[in-house]
Amino acid sequence: MAKPEVKVCTQVEVTATITLSEGHLRALDAMVGYGDDAFLKAFYLKLGSHYMKPFERDLRELFARIRETVPPAIREINDARARFALAAAAKGGA
């Protein structure tokens, strides 16, 4: 008699939602603008690698996500400001 096979698959996913100001977005954009390697090199040189090294892959994924989502948000902010300024100028000149 064959033993029944038991397979247990467990998956846990944790997400967090945060609200960022325009300044926060611009700071993140500037920070990732240096690139992953340059950021990590400077971080490790100045602060050591003990704390960050276990999370290096996650940091690279975070930077990629920031580069993917933050610049479009900043463009939308800039576009909204430009439209608002044009609308304000048109109203003020009427």
pLDDT, tens only, 45-69? 999 999 999 999 999 999 999 999 9
Single-letter residue type at 9: C
CA-nearest of 73, 57, 70 to 31 is 70
Q: What pLDDT sits at residue 94?
A: 46
Q: Is the pLDDT of residue 75 over 90?
A: yes
CA-nearest of 61, 66, 59 to 26 is 66
